[in-house]
């Protein structure tokens, strides 16, 4: 792999040594089935990256807090393109699209290899692409990809104002919630008369 140091030894942020350790050094206890990470030994830096299961191969490049947060946002925006029940394209197609957007090759396009700035750009591009593809497929309710669709199966449930037909709320509420919403609307309407 040309884009990654599979077993990093030096931190790219501070130049300190890096060591393969149990992730309990970060979280206080071992987390996950394969709890190994490469960790910068400088306590003030503490950049780290996980490893592929049953190997000592890094999942990406070491990341400081800003980069880790940006990578999470990038995945939250990008992964709906190819994951889940509403996936919008295949995984290869999604990574090819991303590589073309970033001007790189698919073999070297990985969120885990990207810096914070590139991850923010990935999040921006992917959010726009998800919206575009959802609109093409008839999903007209735009939403924040970090929070998911506004209701479990994206079918709107509406509560409408008596007389005008104006939609005033609802999105798969339980019967109690629907009753409360209707009661609140009726109460407001009585107060206006």
Question: Going residue by residue through the chain (193 aa), what tens digit of pLDDT does each one get?
Answer: 345 668 999 999 999 999 999 999 999 999 999 999 999 999 999 899 999 999 999 999 999 999 999 999 999 999 999 998 778 999 999 999 999 999 999 888 999 999 999 999 999 999 999 999 988 887 644 444 444 444 444 434 444 444 555 554 444 444 445 445 555 555 555 665 4
Asked if residue 2 and residue 51 are part of one domain, the reply reads yes
Residue 170 contacts by C-beta under 8 Å, 6 or more apart in sequence? Answer: 156, 157, 158, 159, 178, 181
Side-chain-facing half-sphere of 63: CA atoms under 13 Å: 26
Query: Does the residue 49 lie in any domain?
Result: yes
Asked if residue 74 and residue 55 are part of one domain, the reply reads no
End-to-end CA distance of the chain: 72
What per-residue confidence (pLDDT) applies to 186? Answer: 55
User: How many CB atoms neighbour CB 130 within 10 A?
Assistant: 21
pTM beyond 0.85: no
184, two tokens: 């609140």
Q: Bridge-partner residues for 159, per DSSP?
A: 169
Could you give the number of structural domains in the chain?
3
What per-residue confidence (pLDDT) applies to 151? Answer: 47
What per-residue confidence (pLDDT) applies to 179? Answer: 45
Query: Does the residue 169 lie in any domain?
Result: yes
Asked if residue 184 and residue 126 are part of one domain, the reply reads no
Range of the domain at 175: 159-192
Query: Does the residue 141 lie in any domain?
Result: no
> Which of residues 62, 85, 115 is at a domain's end?
62
């Amino acid at each position: 792999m040309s884009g990654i140091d599979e077993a990093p030894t030096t931190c790219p942020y501070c130049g300190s040594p890096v060591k393969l350790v149990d992730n309990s050094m970060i979280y206080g206890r071992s987390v996950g089935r394969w709890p190994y990470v490469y960790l910068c030994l400088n306590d003030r830096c503490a950049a780290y990256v996980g490893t592929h299961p049953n190997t000592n191969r890094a999942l990406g490049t070491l990341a400081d807090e800003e980069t880790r947060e940006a990578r999470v946002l990038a995945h939250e925006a990008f992964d709906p393109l190819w994951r889940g029940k509403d996936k919008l394209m295949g995984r290869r197609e999604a990574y090819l699209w991303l590589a073309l957007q970033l001007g790189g090759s698919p073999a070297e396009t990985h969120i885990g290899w990207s810096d914070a700035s590139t991850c923010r750009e990935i999040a921006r591009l992917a959010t726009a692409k998800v919206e575009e593809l959802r609109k093409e497929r008839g999903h007209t309710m735009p939403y924040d990809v970090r929070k998911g669709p506004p209701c479990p199966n994206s079918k709107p449930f509406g509560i409408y104002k008596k007389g005008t037909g104006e939609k005033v709320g609802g999105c798969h509420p339980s019967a109690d919630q629907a009753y409360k919403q209707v009661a609140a609307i009726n109460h407001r309407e009585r107060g206006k008369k």
